[in-house]
Amino acid sequence: MLVRLAYLAITQAFAALRLLPMTDHEKDAEILALRHQLGLLQRQLDGKRLRLHATDRAFLAALLTPLPRATLRRLRLLVSPDTVLRWHRDLLKHRHARASTRRRPGRPRTHNSIRRLVIRLAAENPAWGYRRIHGELALLGIPVAPSTVWEILKTEGIDPAPQRTIVTWASFLRSQAEAILAMDFIETVTLTGYRRYVLVAIHHAGRRVRVLGNTAHPTHAWVTQAIRNLVMDLEDVGQLPAIKYLVRDRDAKYPQVIDDILDQAGITTTLTGIRIPRMNSIMERWVRTLRRELLDRTLIWNERHLRHALNEYEEHYNKHRTHRTLQAAAPLHTPPEPLDPEQIDRLSIRRHDRLSGVIHEYRHAC
């Protein structure tokens, strides 16, 4: 027992002598390092090999590197001082690498707003190549290189201009809406079993509908007179100079003479393809609307009743019914100004019926 006490006293004395030349900073560093190593050894209790993670290496390197090499050799570490110094060099090397990657050389990154504008110009102008788009950007004062425009178009998968200049029928109709008039025959049957044919025309841009007449026998003479009336109506309202095309199908009810009449008025007849109703889509869509809102909900007695119903629906469609294409306006009626809060509080709306309640219109009570 005395021998053990003497051994412990001697070892502690030598340990105290070892601590005399060490500063307080070195002692604190050794304590922290030994505590961290104790935590590492506790993680090794499952019997696996001791593995130091990147965070362990970074902590020990930052803690022990400021100490002199002689002090490092005196510390009781799991690794050698050279290993600690190597960890520190690796940390500095990775830090400089990250700093250099943040400062990328070359031209700055193109703004997303410029990218969106380039894509928009290419979509709205299929005939424009990257040089033409670059010129338009230059007029807007946007500093960008032609190669950057080319790179944006290529990244978005947009083909070069020669492959984008194909004009589709839909794009043609949209671009020429102000100058296009569409026409079609509508068939319906009265309660007496007689078939009636209604000739209707619609303006693509304004969506104004004109019911040209209805008959049980659409002879060439009747159709020709209806076309003459249409031309005179367009001339009276001053719309004839703007109309350049009339789209219709290849129905045999149309005589050849109407093309000559329209040609003299400066209107070119454009025939749709065989069994391709989408080429006259706006007219077909209006026919569907007419059937859903009027013909399928009304029992037509005779020609006089049909004429009255069509005239009522034509006035409702042109002066009251709203359209998404016209931003919730009617073809012949612009939307009113928004109501004030006081007017909304005193809101009074009345219903106006057309065709005995088949069609409802709502108006402010006077």
**Residues 308 and 239 both lie in one domain:** yes
Pick from 67-81, 151-165, 243-257: least confident: 67-81
What confidence tens digit (pLDDT) does each residue in 289-335 have? Answer: 999 999 999 999 999 999 999 999 999 999 998 888 787 888 888 87
264 pLDDT band (50/70/90 cuts)? very high
Is residue 92 domain-shared with residue 235, that is, in the same domain? Answer: no
366: helix, coil or strand? coil
DSSP conformational letter for 336: P
Give the CATH number for residue 259: 3.30.420.10
Domain count for the chain, please give it.
3
Residue 19 lies in a domain: no
Instruction: Give 239 or 335, the one with higher predicted confidence.
Output: 239
Low-confidence winner among 92-106, 129-143, 221-235, 258-272 (lowest mean pLDDT): 92-106
* Summary mean pLDDT of the chain: 81
Per DSSP, the three-state class of 350 is strand
Same domain assignment for residues 190 and 118: no
201 domain-assigned: yes
**58 in the same domain as 130:** no
Q: Which domain, by its residues, includes 183?
A: 175-335
Paired residues of 195 in beta bridges: 189
pLDDT value of position 108: 72
pLDDT value at residue 270: 92
Residue of 146 and 91 predicted with greater confidence: 146
Q: How confident is the model at residue 230 (pLDDT cuts 50, 70, 90)?
A: very high
Residue 18 inside a domain? The answer is no
Same domain, 260 and 120: no
Q: Tell me the per-residue pLDDT of 346-360, one tens digit each, with 9 for 90 and over.
A: 888 888 899 988 998
Residue 53 falls inside a structural domain? yes
Same-domain status, 212 and 264: yes
Contact 318, 331 (CB under 8 A): yes
Residue 79 has pLDDT above 70, yes or no: no
Residue 12 above 90 pLDDT?
no
Q: Which long-range contacts (CB under 8 A, 24 or more apart) does 78-83 make?
A: 78/37, 78/40, 78/50, 79/52
**Taking residues 256-269, what's their average pLDDT?**
94
Using pLDDT thresholds of 50, 70 and 90, give the confidence band for residue 244: very high
Q: What percent of the chain has pLDDT over 70?
A: 68
Would residue 13 count as lying in a domain?
no
Range picked from 60-69, 77-86, 188-197 for highest mean pLDDT: 188-197
* Same domain, residue pair 189 and 298: yes
Considering the domain architecture, whether residues 159 and 200 belong to the same structural domain is answered as: no
- The neighbour count for residue 82, using CB atoms within 10 Å, is 10
296 domain residue, yes or no? yes
Do 189 and 232 belong to one domain?
yes
Alpha carbon distance 216, 223 (integer Å): 12
pLDDT of residue 72: 64
Q: How confident is residue 96, by pLDDT bands cut at 50, 70 and 90?
A: low
